[in-house]
Every structure is written in structure tokens, then in C-alpha cells.
């Protein structure tokens, strides 16, 4: 499905973090809808390196790009040589900047700021030089424990990840004060789920994690009071829609990308069991994160609708139903005999 009247034929598109969750979905959106579009994927593909928390430094995985026919570059956005080659070897029309350290539990503040903040400004300078519209991933983590509905301008980040994304948005605001020939749009993603997230490992959504628990014949485990823990869960197709519509905004700026409707973790477990034809009930466990845990997120998307033209198409029931075949496929191939 095409989300814009823009013809990307013969355009050159850079997708950083293109072997990750959202980046790879963007790559296939362009490949499937605009076969004559030149797509450049840059990703720091995973190796065995981990942060101090034990999680992988990169979630980029080749399996997210199986079937992709564009250009694939393995490189780190912190590497000035890599950035220089991108600047000199290509002429970009659009840059979708998805690369980041997205693990909210990472303690390495220096690397977080370097990767998420400083490298973004370096890429933004390339976008300006190339006159390429910039669309980048901000985050609902910028809001921290701000009350719902979360609204741009009411930020209170509770970790260095949220802080780094807010600093990206501040850079955007600084550049938008200039008379630029490009648009710059930051998209604050709320809780995204859908195809190609599996290789985020423990940081993948509870949708796929609960789905695999149920397929294994286990009762889904939820924190106590999960019927009252609400999040704005958004299906990947709506995130792709927002990115594509952000290529030609009525106004540059920072916008929320969610459904505008908070749903519970209990809803996820119940919808999955209905779709998978099971009735295992729910096992409740103590919540160890009380005091450092958001109990309600809900995106204010009025400005996103007004200036981007974004309208969410997927209720949670629709998104999970569409996701079920992929959850089953992953279970058979990646989980069952692991």
C-alpha cells in the first residue's frame, strides 16, 4: 500500500539502522512499492559485543533483509570515514535515520550520547548538503513519567536513552530556525510491535514474547495489575505510514506516532489467546519495577494528524491478527527447537 503521492522512482533513499526492526520494514516498503528507487541500507550489524547490562550492542540482523535487493553497507554512524563516504559517494533525496542505541537499560552514557545525539547532527549536515528531507526516530521515552496524553513540549526523560532522544529533538529545533531547503521531521514512536522485531531479543515487544509463550503451551506471565498497566501500542504498518507521510509534511517538527489509545498488557495476552485458540489463563508475578515504571502512556496525535496527515489504521485487535502468521513462523523456525 502506498501512503503518499510522492513518486520515489529514481530517488535515492538512505536508511540508517536498515537491518533493524523499523529500518528493514522501511527498506521493503520502498522495494515493494518503488522498484526503481535506489535504497541504501546502513547498519552496524551485530557481533558478539555487549553492553555492561549483557545485551547486544547492535540488533541489526541479516535475516531482516532476506529478499532485499538494494545496497547494504556495514558501518557505524559514529565512524567519520563511513559518513564521509556516504556524503561523497551518493546524492540522497531522503534520509530515514533509524540507527540508535535503543536499549533503555544501557548504562554507557557517553556512547549513548555519541551515537544518538552527535551522530545525528553529523547526518543532518549531510542531509542539508544533499538537500535531502530528513525523517528520524525520536521516542516516547522523552516523556518519562509525564502524564497522559503525552504531548510534545511536556518532556521529562527518566533515563539516558530518553534524554538522548530529547537532545536530538533540540538539535532539530535549532536547525529549523534556519532557512533550510529541506524538511526535518522527528517521529516519537510509542510501543511498536510487528514483523522483524524478533531479533531485538529481550527488548522485542511483549506481543511476540507472549505469543511464543502461548505457542509453547505456557500460561503467559504478566505483572500483577497488568489490566491497569496501559501503553499506546502501535503496529509496524502504522509506523511505516507515518514515516512515508513525513517525507512531505505541512510543517517540519517533532510528532508523536501512536494510536492515541492506551491498551493494557492484559489485552495483549487475551487477544493473542483468542487468535491462537487457547485458554491458558494468566499467571501474575510481582512487578519489580514499581517506582521506575510508566503505568500509562497515550500519544496525543492531533498535530501528527494535522501536519503529517497520519491516521492510525490498526486497532490492537487488527495489528495482532495481522501479526499472528509471522509469530507462528518465527516460533517454528527460531524458537521451537532452540
Instruction: List the helix and strand counts (H, then E) for the chain.
Output: 10, 13
Candidate list 94, 161, 255, 310, residue with the active-site label: 161
Q: At CA 263, angle to CA 311 and CA 310, rounded to 5?
A: 10
328 assigned to some structural domain: yes
Q: Report CA dihedral (329, 334, 336, 338) to the nearest 10 degrees.
A: 180
- Contacts by 75-83, CB closer than 8 A, 24 or more apart: 75/42, 75/43, 75/44, 76/44, 77/16, 77/42, 77/44, 77/115, 77/119, 77/122, 77/123, 78/114, 78/115, 78/118, 78/119, 80/122, 82/42, 83/119, 83/122, 83/123, 83/126
Q: What is the pLDDT, as a whole number, of residue 259?
A: 98
167 assigned to some structural domain: yes
* Alpha-carbon span 248 to 238, nearest angstrom: 17
5 assigned to some structural domain: no
218 assigned to some structural domain: yes
Q: Record the pTM.
A: 0.97
Is 161 one of the catalytic residues?
A: yes
242 assigned to some structural domain: yes
Low-confidence ranges of the chain (pLDDT < 50): none
Q: What is the pLDDT, as a whole number, of residue 287?
A: 85
Q: What is the pLDDT, as a whole number, of residue 294?
A: 74
Cα dihedral sign, 63-68-72-77:
negative
Q: What is the pLDDT, as a whole number, of residue 338?
A: 78
Candidate list 200, 235, 255, 310, residue with the active-site label: 200
Q: What is the pLDDT, as a whole number, of residue 153?
A: 97
Into how many domains does the chain fold? Answer: 1
DSSP classification of residue 136: E
Grid cell in block for residue 137: 526516530
122 assigned to some structural domain: yes
CATH of the domain at 186: 3.40.50.720
Domain range for 163 is: 12-335
Is 202 one of the catalytic residues?
A: no
72 assigned to some structural domain: yes
Kindly report, residue by residue over 64-119, the tens digit of the pLDDT.
Answer: 999 999 999 999 999 999 999 999 999 999 999 999 999 999 999 999 999 999 99
Kindly report, residue by residue over 290-334, the tens digit of the pLDDT.
Answer: 666 678 999 999 999 999 999 999 999 999 999 999 999 999 999
Burial class (CB within 10 angstroms; exposed 0-12, middle 13-18, buried 19+) of 325 = exposed
SS3 276: helix
- What's the length of the chain? 338
4 assigned to some structural domain: no
Amino acid at each position: 500500500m502506498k501512503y503518499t503521492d510522492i513518486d520515489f522512482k529514481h530517488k535515492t533513499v538512505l536508511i540508517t539502522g536498515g537491518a533493524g526492526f523499523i529500518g528493514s520494514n522501511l527498506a521493503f516498503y520502498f522495494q515493494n512499492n518503488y522498484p526503481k528507487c535506489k535504497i541504501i541500507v546502513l547498519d552496524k550489524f551485530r557481533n558478539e559485543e555487549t553492553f555492561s547490562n549483557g545485551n547486544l550492542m547492535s540488533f541489526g540482523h541479516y535475516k531482516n533483509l532476506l529478499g532485499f535487493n538494494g545496497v547494504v553497507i556495514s558501518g557505524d554512524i559514529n565512524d567519520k570515514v563511513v559518513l564521509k563516504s556516504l556524503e561523497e559517494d551518493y546524492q540522497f533525496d531522503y534520509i530515514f535515520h533509524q540507527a540508535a542505541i535503543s536499549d533503555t537499560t544501557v548504562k554507557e552514557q557517553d556512547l549513548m550520547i555519541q551515537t544518538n545525539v552527535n551522530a545525528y547532527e553529523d547526518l543532518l549536515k549531510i542531509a542539508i548538503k544533499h538537500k535531502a528531507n530528513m525523517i528520524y526516530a525520536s521516542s516516547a521515552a522523552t516523556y518519562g513519567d509525564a502524564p497522559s496524553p503525552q504531548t510534545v513540549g511536556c518532556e521529562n526523560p527518566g533515563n539516558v536513552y530518553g534524554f538522548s532522544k530529547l537532545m536530538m529533538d533540540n538539535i532539530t529545533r535549532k536547525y529549523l530556525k534556519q532557512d533550510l531547503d529541506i524538511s526535518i521531521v522527528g517521529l516519537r514512536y510509542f510501543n511498536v510491535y510487528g514483523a522483524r522485531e524478533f531479533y531485538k531479543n529481550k527488548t522485542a515487544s511483549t506481543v511476540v514474547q507472549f505469543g511464543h509463550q502461548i505457542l509453547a503451551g505456557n500460561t503467559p506471565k504478566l505483572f500483577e495489575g497488568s489490566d491497569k498497566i496501559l501503553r499506546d501500542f502501535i503496529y509496524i504498518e502504522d509506523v511505516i505510514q507515518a514515516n512515508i507521510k513525513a517525507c512531505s509534511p505541512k510543517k517540519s517538527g517533532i510528532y508523536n506516532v501512536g494510536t492515541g489509545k492506551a491498551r493494557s498488557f492484559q489485552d495483549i495476552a487475551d487477544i493473542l489467546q483468542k487468535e491462537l485458540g487457547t485458554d491458558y489463563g494468566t499467571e501474575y508475578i510481582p512487578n519489580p519495577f514499581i517506582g521506575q515504571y510508566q503505568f500509562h502512556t497515550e500519544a496525543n496525535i492531533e498535530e501528527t494528524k494535522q501536519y503529517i496527515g497520519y491516521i492510525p489504521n490498526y486497532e490492537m485487535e487488527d495489528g495482532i491478527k495481522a501479526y499472528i502468521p509471522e509469530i507462528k513462523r518465527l516460533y517454528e523456525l527460531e524458537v521451537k527447537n532452540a
